[in-house]
């Protein structure tokens, strides 16, 4: 009996449920959408706007849309014409890369994405990963350029998505360390290094990327001796790296200056020399602070790669625009730009998502 007496109150406690208005969908809506009169009005307005636009958008994009038709059938239909993408997907994705060899850049992109995906996890940051990257880079280069039995494809014919990825991935990875070095240089007590860094950063930041690309492609060849030409993609790549590095440098400098002075003094009092202090104490903390702003710069640099059209490189955006200049597909620019926006969004979202995760993982509470 005594035991019965003891268990009974517990059962009663189990039986009492929270009121139906504070759990489930209704509860969620109360907390998130109708919390107070102001939020309720805002929610109602947003819901009204969505109900006005969303159905017609869905109707346009999915219900009435055509996916694998000719342009004439598209013109007859009333919905979105996604056929403009499907019919031209190979030119949009690969540009002038020879038609029958397009599996090569495709494979190279898959390798790159796999490597990036694998490198996301910090547990994988071992020596073997470095070898995997070396091997990956080599095979990507081989696939794109040819050689060793593969037919050689001139880099003038590279284009589309592989070019966008190439310019941004290598541009950003190369710009970051250069930017860090420039930031350290700007903080340096050595006058030559300091003034070089300051002049470089201010000079580059004072010039738009377009003009740098233009200089690299049109003016730079004038200074080369006759007959010597540098690869166009390489020139654009260098311009992007130099440009992004200057911006990274200023962000990293912010992190360095944001560090407590005590950290510098502590490093010195431990007897660490400059390089040790930077590598072991200052930079790990400073770079952690600047993850969000650097990611902002990397994302905008990624999107800026589309400016290479100015020097006649065919990145993803340009191949899409070229497709649209065909009278057959001229009327469907909304669909085409929607597709390009989606590709850019996926890449940028992945980057910002990763930066948030990295921030959380590295958060040590101070």
Partner 1 sequence: MAHFQRIVPAVVVAFCLTAGVAISGTLDAVKTKGFVQTGVNSDLFGFGKPDEKGVWKGLDIDTARAIAAAIFGDAEKVKFTPLTTKTRFTALQSGEIDVLTRNATQTLSRDTDLGLDFVQVNYYDGQGFLIPNKLGVKSAKELDGASVCVLPGTTTEQNVADYFRVNKMKMNPVVIENNAELAKAFFAGRCDCLTSDASQLAGIRAVAPNPADYTILPEIISKEPLAPAVRHGDNQWKDVVNYVVLAMIEAEELGITSKNVDEMMTSTNPAVMRFLGVTPGNGKSLGLDEKWAYNIVKQVGNYSEVFERNVGVNTPLMLKRGLNALWNNGGLMYSPPFK
> Which residues of this chain interact with partner 1, rule CB under 8 A?
75, 87-88, 90-91, 94-99, 154, 156-157, 214, 217-219, 221-222, 226-227, 309-312, 314, 318, 321-328, 330-331, 333
The least distance separating partner 1 from the CB of residue 222, rounded to whole angstroms, comes to 5
Residue number, 151 or 156, with CB nearest to partner 1: 156
The least distance separating partner 1 from the CB of residue 255, rounded to whole angstroms, comes to 38
10 Å CB burial of residue 149 (0-12, 13-18, 19+) is exposed
Q: Count the neighbouring beta carbons within 10 Å of the beta carbon of residue 178.
A: 17
Question: Which CA distances in Å does 212 have to 38, 49, 166, 225, 242?
Answer: 49, 44, 19, 21, 9
CB 306 within 8 A of CB 164: yes
Residue number, 52 or 312, with CB nearest to partner 1: 312
Q: Residue 285's closest CA among 299, 307, 266, 312?
A: 266
Residue number, 91 or 200, with CB nearest to partner 1: 91
The least distance separating partner 1 from the CB of residue 47, rounded to whole angstroms, comes to 29
For residues 190, 191, 195, 201, the Cα torsion angle rounded to the nearest 10 degrees is 10
Q: How many CA atoms lie within 13 A of 178 on its CB side?
A: 17
Distance (Å, whole) CA 362 – CA 291: 10
């Amino acid at each position: 009996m005594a035991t019965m007496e003891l268990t009974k109150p517990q059962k009663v406690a189990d039986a009492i449920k929270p009121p139906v208005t504070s759990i489930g969908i209704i509860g969620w809506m109360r907390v998130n959408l109708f919390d107070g009169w102001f939020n309720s009005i805002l929610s109602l307005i947003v819901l009204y706007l969505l109900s006005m636009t969303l159905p017609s958008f869905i109707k346009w994009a999915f219900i009435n849309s055509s996916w694998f038709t000719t342009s004439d059938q598209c013109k007859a239909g009333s919905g979105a014409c996604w056929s403009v993408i499907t019919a031209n997907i190979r030119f949009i994705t690969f540009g002038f890369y020879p038609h029958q060899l397009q599996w090569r850049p495709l494979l190279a992109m898959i390798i790159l994405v796999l490597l990036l995906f694998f490198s996301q996890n910090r547990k994988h940051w071992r020596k073997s990963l470095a070898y995997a990257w070396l091997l990956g880079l080599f095979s990507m280069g081989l696939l794109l350029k040819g050689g060793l039995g593969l037919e050689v494809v001139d880099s003038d014919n590279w284009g589309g998505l592989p070019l966008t990825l190439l310019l941004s991935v290598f541009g950003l990875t190369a710009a970051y360390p250069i930017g860090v070095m420039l930031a350290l240089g700007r903080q340096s007590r050595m006058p030559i290094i300091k003034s070089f860094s300051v002049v470089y950063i201010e000079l580059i930041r004072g010039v738009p990327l377009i003009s740098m690309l233009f200089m690299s492609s049109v003016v730079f060849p004038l200074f080369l001796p006759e007959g010597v030409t540098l690869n166009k993609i390489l020139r654009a790549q260098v311009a992007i790296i130099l440009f992004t590095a200057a911006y990274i440098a200023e962000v990293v400098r912010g992190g360095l200056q944001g560090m407590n002075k005590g950290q510098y003094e502590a490093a010195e009092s431990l007897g660490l020399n400059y390089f040790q202090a930077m590598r072991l104490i200052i930079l790990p903390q400073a770079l952690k602070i600047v993850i969000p702003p650097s990611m902002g710069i990397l994302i905008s640099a990624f999107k800026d790669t589309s400016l290479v059209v100015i020097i006649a490189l065919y990145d993803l955006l340009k191949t899409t625009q070229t497709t649209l200049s065909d009278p057959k597909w001229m009327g469907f620019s909304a669909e085409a730009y929607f597709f390009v926006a989606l590709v850019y969004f996926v890449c940028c979202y992945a980057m910002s998502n990763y930066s948030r995760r990295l921030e959380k993982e590295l958060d040590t509470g101070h």
